[in-house]
Structure 1
Amino acid sequence: MGGPVPLLLAALAVGGLIALAWAAGFRGDAQLSDEAEALELAASLPGGFAGRDVRLSADRRHALITDAQGRIALILPHGAHFTARLCDGAAAEARGNQLVLHLGGRTFHIDGGEAADAWLNLLERSRPAEMRPHNAQGRA
């Protein structure tokens, strides 16, 4: 078999694999559909997490969720899906509408929109007093 036929068959095979990956959900940027989806993701944390208050980021790629004990869970994209992490001991700062969150040796940039300062206050209130920046203790 020579000429363009093997090349055409290879192109069709690659196209088929791309279509299969797309149909399986491996496409584009992940976005949270609503608060209920974020709550469901947080409930999957080890040991359970009964979320109460949900704040979606402006671009719907992240969410912060509080529970009755004052813990905070972060929902963040992981490829085309999402993962949930507890924010115990996280440090954060607001830079305009961006919330910069330092958690577990990683840094996350979250589009907090107009509510970036409210996200920051929520995170600071969840930290033990001795871990808060001095300028944040008066706001907590």
Structure 2
Amino acid sequence: MGGPVPLLLAALAVSGLVALAWAAGFRGDAQLESEAEALDLAASLPGGFAGKDVLLSADRRHALIADAQGRLVLILPHGAHFTARRCDGAAAESQGTQLALHLHDRTVQIDAGKAADSWLKLLERAQPGKARPHHVQGRA
């Protein structure tokens, strides 16, 4: 076989793989559909997690969830999917609508939007005396 036929077959095969990856959910930036989806992700943690209060970020790429005992879970994007991570003891700073959540091993930047104060209040309410979230003066 020579000429354009092998090239056309290769292009069709690559297009099929791209379509298959897209159908499997490997596409673009992940966004949470609802608070219920965030609660389901938190419940999937080993040992379970019964979330009570849920806050979604403005871009719907993060969620902060507290349970009745004051434990916290952060939902964050991992490629085109999400991961749930316990974040007890986290500290936070806000500059306008942007929130820097300081975890044990890294800092996560979150666009909390108009709910930035609510994120800080949930952190403080869930962990009184542990993490003192605060506003940082400066650029927004």
TM-score by length of 2: 0.87
Given the superposition, is the C-alpha separation of residues 135 and 19 from structure 1 closer, same or farther in structure 2, using an over 3 Å criterion?
A: closer
The residue correspondences of 1:31-46 to structure 2 (distance < 5 A) are: 31-46=31-46
SS at match of 1:64: strand
> Bigger relative contact order, structure 1 or 2, given CA contacts below 8 A and separation 6+?
2
SS at match of 2:27: coil
Q: Deviations over 1:66-113 (max 9, x none)?
A: 101011110111111111011122121112111111213222111100
How many residues align? The count is 135
Given the superposition, is the C-alpha separation of residues 52 and 127 from structure 1 closer, same or farther in structure 2, using an over 3 Å criterion?
A: closer
CA distance in 1: counterparts of 2:117 and 2:75, whole angstroms: 18
Structure 1 unaligned regions, length at least 5: none
SS at match of 1:109: strand
Q: Displacement, 1:128?
A: 5.8
Residue matched to 1:12: 12
Residue matched to 1:124: 124
The residue correspondences of 1:92-131 to structure 2 (distance < 5 A) are: 92-127=92-127, 129=129, 131=130
Residue matched to 1:88: 88
Is the 8 Å Cα contact of residues 92 and 133 (structure 2) preserved in structure 1? no
SS at match of 1:73: strand
Residue matched to 1:70: 70
CA distance in 2: counterparts of 1:47 and 1:133, whole angstroms: 28
Given the superposition, is the C-alpha separation of residues 22 and 85 from structure 1 closer, same or farther in structure 2, using an over 3 Å criterion?
A: same
Given the superposition, is the C-alpha separation of residues 132 and 91 from structure 1 closer, same or farther in structure 2, using an over 3 Å criterion?
A: closer
SS at match of 1:60: coil
CA distance in 2: counterparts of 1:111 and 1:17, whole angstroms: 34
TM-score by length of 1: 0.87
- Higher helix residue share: 1
1:48 maps to amino acid: G
Worse-matched range after superposition: 115-124 or 63-72: 115-124
CA distance in 1: counterparts of 2:72 and 2:87, whole angstroms: 5
